[in-house]
Structure 1
């Protein structure tokens, strides 16, 4: 029994040690000449999207393409390129998708102004629905002729239910169902 507990404990500990190293990713270390370049690298890596990881920027992604793009970003910064030049280079190479916040252009108008337009249309629809003229109580009220006809129908219905006029009007029972 003691051997079994010892075996399970050792197996659990070894699993924890091995599983932790599987999820650990190598840390990229870039050496920067000054603190300003390091801050620019961090800002640009948060502004650029990983082409493989749909909802992650370069700083958060561990994919191989993100590593390549971070290396490319580092090299461009070491060459003394401006932020706008780096962004233009990345967009030219990978398309507008690489921008985490797309630029406002004729291609992206629907992204920027679509939600505002939908809210505006929704407000107009709500206003139109609320402004519709409600049905007045006068239109719902019955005139005297309709009231008399309704009373007559109710009275006829009450007479028929208390005195069945014919056997066919009587409700069906299990015996009458068997005859049919």
Structure 2
């Protein structure tokens, strides 16, 4: 049994992540292919959600990879390619949304909530500390009488 499991475990351990880019998609120009890989790394597969299009086997991811390479062959810059795809599929296609417009609100909301929560906690702790240091004063005779009435003593 060990003779079978050990080679299988070793093969699984040594196997790296397989990219979904097919050989027929790869561009002849290494510089353009490197640019295509750089762009693809930041584009989300709309089927797989949290995978970039290079790692996805989905048909839509293949279409996006081909579209990126097609736009590069037409002479578009990296920014123009990304803008073209965002115009077509929306900002959801970006793995890292842009920090502008309404997205800026989302980027700043997390740190703002952390600071606000820390401030509220600090105020709460300081008030609690001052409440604990107040001296215990005995009840007045009227307050004691009212308390006894409430408790039915």
TM-score normalised per structure 2: 0.70
CA positional deviation for 1:131 = 1.3
**2:94 equivalent to 1:99:** yes
- Which structure 2 segments of 5+ residues have no match? 1-17, 142-153
- Which of 46, 50, 61 aligns to 2:45? It is 50
Matches of 2:31 and 2:86, distance apart in 1: 23
Matches of 2:35 and 2:81, distance apart in 1: 11
Task: Figure out how many residues of one structure are paired with residues of the other and give that number.
Answer: 124
Give the equivalent residue in structure 1 for 2:62.
67
8 Å contact 2:21–2:62 — kept in the other structure? Answer: no
Give the equivalent residue in structure 2 for 1:154.
none
Residues 116-172 of structure 1: CA distance to partner in whole angstroms, max 9, x if unpaired?
Answer: 011111110111012112323622x647x8xxxxxxxxxxxxxxxxxxxxxxxxxxx
TM-score normalised per structure 1: 0.60
Give the equivalent residue in structure 2 for 1:134.
131
Matches of 2:106 and 2:73, distance apart in 1: 34
Considering Cα pairs closer than 8 Å and 6+ residues apart, tell me whether 1 or 2 has the greater RCO.
2
State the superposition RMSD in angstroms.
2.7
CA positional deviation for 1:95 = 0.6
Distance 1:95 1:137, change over 3 A: closer
